[in-house]
Amino acid sequence: MSREQSRRTVDHRRIVITGVGLVAPGAASLAEFRSNLLAGTSGITTLDLRYMGVHPAGVCTFAETRYRKKRENSRGTRAGCIGVYCANEALRDAAIDFSEYDRAATGVYIGLTEHGTVETENEVFNIGQYGNDVDYWTHHHNPRTVLNNPAGEITLNLGLTGPHYAIGAACAAGNAALIQGVQMLRLGEVDLALCGGLSECVGSFGIFASFRAQGALAEHPDPTRASRPFDRDRNGIVISEGGCVFTLERLDRALARGARILGEITGYAMNSDARDVVLPYGPRQRECMELALRRADLTPADITIVNTHATGTRQGDVEECRALRETFAACPATWINNTKSSIGHAMGAAGVLELAGNLPSFTDNLVHPTINLDHLDPDCALPGLVAREPREVERVDAILNNSFGMLGINSVVVVERFVAN
């Protein structure tokens, strides 16, 4: 039985993306985000941090009261605010009004690198202004800081009574949440899934301070040039906030309601380095990519675009590039790019934001460029690396999206152009 014939018999197991809602530095919609990426426009500005001063950072601007009131935002969290916006935008983009889906059979799966850090730091600072009198500690603290808070805020806003929870997977969390949604749909646990990742980390001076202590916090006189993956002069990560939520459906249900299909998730994988709490390991990353390809029934040469995880750290970029060279060395029609060069590192939102930024390539046949690459590090030289200007290709058939995180967690998602059989 051919791959196409096999697919026709299992449409209920085929999972497709039908909607995207996002917030990124410099963009509050997929169209705006894509336009910035193709133009090589950086979304990085500066942030004056408590105790630390001014640093490059990715800060998001969007209509925060479009889907809930200012009072609700003040009672909730920044991550919840971003999540509510993205989830509503994803449903709107997918044209879902719950006339065809049950809110009790809708799952919300949100990837987070961290949560509660911002709220705790702010509360400790606030009571410090009152002699550390805990009577000034807010009663909202506990519901704000539980790990499921952002996913829960989405269900409260939309009246969704199906399952919701957070996926903690460091900077691989966005991809991990997407994988979770695919699995729950295939198992029949839910009929509709809202999956994605969120980051509010620019509100935490501790995250900036920790990366600086590790020698991994990017600095540059021009903030728009601070995020420089693969560049010889790179000096670390630009920390960003952001969020992206996808609407996932089983193919048969999507086709029945005449949905516009943005892509089909055909492969995924996760594994662990089991070597170091911080330092990445290319051989495990290569194994993760190979497993995702096998599950998608693809070869490396079938991939048109590889979106890299590279963050601008010295060893991290080199390890991933080594894995990519070993995997895609004999693939002259495979193109490689990096999204963090334009928006910085959005932590738990990184994987899904970067996938979203590449999804329109299925229709416009353009590979967005890696920017700020003035002097390529020889150890980061890659076949097919797209830099400075977009590359037009004849056709984009498949995207492989890398997302890796601390404690050695790796995730890879493969999305293919949807082809009706």
Active site amino acids: 171, 309, 345
Taking alpha carbons only, the member of 36, 15, 12 closest to residue 25 is: 36
CB–CB of 390/366 below 8 Å? yes
Q: Which amino acid is at 62?
A: F
Torsion angle of C-alpha atoms 208, 411, 250, 37, degrees rounded to 10: 50
Structure tokens at 46: 């500066």
Q: How many CA atoms lie within 13 A of 283 on its CB side?
A: 3
Q: Which residues contact 206 (CB under 8 A, 6 or more apart)?
A: 117, 121
Cα–Cα distance for residue pair 22/174, rounded to 1 Å: 12
CB–CB of 264/4 below 8 Å? no
CB–CB of 146/323 below 8 Å? no
Taking alpha carbons only, the member of 59, 211, 78 closest to residue 145 is: 78
How big is the chain, counted in residues? 421
Cα–Cα distance for residue pair 37/357, rounded to 1 Å: 7
Strand partners, 16: 249, 264
Taking alpha carbons only, the member of 354, 335, 412, 413 closest to residue 33 is: 354
